[in-house]
Amino acid sequence: MKQHLDSLRKKINETDKKIVKLFEERLNTVSKIAALKKQNNLKVFDPEREKEVIKRAASYLNENSLEKYLTPFMDEMMTQSRQYQIDLIGSPGTVTGENRKFKIKDDSVIGYLGVSGSYSEEAASLYFGDNCKKRSFGHFDEIVSSILKGEIDIGVLPVENSSTGTISKVMDLIGSNDVYITGEHISKISHNLLVLPGTKLTDIKEVYSHHQGLEQSIKYLKQYPWELIEYKSTADSARLVQKLQDKTKAAVASRRCVEIYGLEIAVPDINFENNYTRFVMTGWEMIIDENCNKISVVMDIAHKPGALYKVLRLFKDRNINLLKIESRPIIGKPWEYLFYFDFEGNLAEDRVKDLIEYLRNSSGIFKLLGNYPAFSGKALAQQTGM
């Protein structure tokens, strides 16, 4: 038996030698294709061509039952051929934007959701300083639109909450418009039940707030038979209660709204414990400097087995720490998704440039959302009193 096994292994070795020789021959041809693509400014990734190559290879089989083994083999070879082309062509132009940090000027305008007292306004003041010039908006899309029109310099947008997850509408707006993330801030959020002075819990019939405020406080609110009504923002809700002067109305909002709108706190801290919101500073240009250590991108991934694994492996191979991955449906393409990635790195690093270029050339849809300074754990600890 051992003699027969050794004989078969020897045959395998001879076959592998032929495969390696053919692999080298194939990559030599791939190098010529890469040169032509570079000369004619063509994308490395051609999904239709790759499908055609794999399908044709399967047609050469004498035993059709082996197709399920051949397909991943060919797919991996196409992946490596693509990487080889990228290595040959290089990645010029990957780093876009000026190497400078955004600085507030006297006439810079920062846009935020809601009216005075909103958490977005507070995040703007904490990030840019109390003296920054701010402008309020009623909807997220109005903020993005004003950035694109040049009416404001930066928009402060909430993208994620530790209790309720990603704010999908905001991520979709950033991903689908020509705007970039330039910074981030994380705030500890404390929601309070605000009422007119002298109001009792038994007087309340309706509670107003932004839907995030209601969701983050739902565990407390559902104890009572109150009607929960979504409104523009938490601060707008507080202003509404003040305006209506009706003790049957209450709002879920910040402590700052107590002084601003002459209300009082009926019940403090009604939200989930350890409740934080991540805000991103969003502008019309990408701004990069040596302090930028976090990158966000969005891309589509081929709708086939193993496609996501291949992308994740790219991060591991380059020793790049992946911080977050989330999928969002592609409008008009049922059951196909865009993937948002947050990871550590600076676009000046070779390994990061290589990764970005490979991701760009491995997808039909790709956008670099920004390279910016991550909010520090030390700053977060200061908010928690740790």
Overall size of the chain counted in residues? 386
Of 94, 1, 116, which Cα lies nearest the Cα of 44?
94
Establish whether 277 is a catalytic residue. yes
Q: Residue 383 falls within a domain, yes or no?
A: no
* Domain ranges, residue 46: 1-90
Contact 209, 252 (CB under 8 A): yes
Question: Sorting pLDDT into bands at 50, 70 and 90, what band is 359?
Answer: very high
Contact 301, 364 (CB under 8 A): no
Q: Residue 27 falls within a domain, yes or no?
A: yes
Of 228, 223, 273, 274, which Cα lies nearest the Cα of 251?
228
Question: Sorting pLDDT into bands at 50, 70 and 90, what band is 326?
Answer: very high
CATH number assigned to the domain comprising residue 68:
1.20.59.10
Question: Sorting pLDDT into bands at 50, 70 and 90, what band is 380?
Answer: low
> Which entry of 128, 137, 279, 343 is annotated as an active-site residue?
279
pLDDT of residue 243: 98
Q: Residue 306 falls within a domain, yes or no?
A: no
| Residue that finishes a domain, picked among 267, 282, 313 | 267
Q: pLDDT tens digit string along 263-309?
A: 999 999 999 999 999 999 999 988 888 999 999 999 999 887 888 99
- On the question of pLDDT at 94 being above 70, the answer is no
Determine what percent of the chain is predicted with pLDDT higher than 70: 93
Establish whether 279 is a catalytic residue. yes
CATH number assigned to the domain comprising residue 228:
3.40.190.10
Q: Residue 327 falls within a domain, yes or no?
A: no
pLDDT of residue 199: 98
Q: Residue 358 falls within a domain, yes or no?
A: no
- Three-state SS across the chain? CHHHHHHHHHHHHHHHHHHHHHHHHHHHHHHHHHHHHHHCCCCCCCHHHHHHHHHHHHHCCCCHHHHHHHHHHHHHHHHHHHHHHHHHHCCCCCCCCECCCCCCCCCCEEEEECCCCCHHHHHHHHHHCCCCEEEEECCHHHHHHHHHHCCCCEEEEEEEECCCEECHHHHHHHHHCCCEEEEEEEEECCCEEEECCCCCHHHCCEEEECHHHHHHCHHHHCCCCCEEEECCCHHHHHHHHHHHCCCCEEEEECCHHHHHHCCEEEECCCCCCCCEEEEEEEECCCECCCCCCEEEEEEECCCCCCHHHHHHHHHHHCCCCEEEEEEEECCCCCCCEEEEEEEECCCCCHHHHHHHHHHHCCCCCEEEEEEECCCCHHHHHHHHCC
| Residue that finishes a domain, picked among 74, 90, 106 | 90
pLDDT of residue 41: 81
Q: Residue 318 falls within a domain, yes or no?
A: no
Q: Residue 25 falls within a domain, yes or no?
A: yes
Domain count, the chain: 2
pLDDT of residue 385: 46
- On the question of pLDDT at 66 being above 80, the answer is yes
- On the question of pLDDT at 6 being above 70, the answer is yes
Q: Residue 15 falls within a domain, yes or no?
A: yes
> Which entry of 277, 282, 315, 375 is annotated as an active-site residue?
277
- On the question of pLDDT at 128 being above 80, the answer is yes
| Residue that finishes a domain, picked among 267, 289, 318 | 267
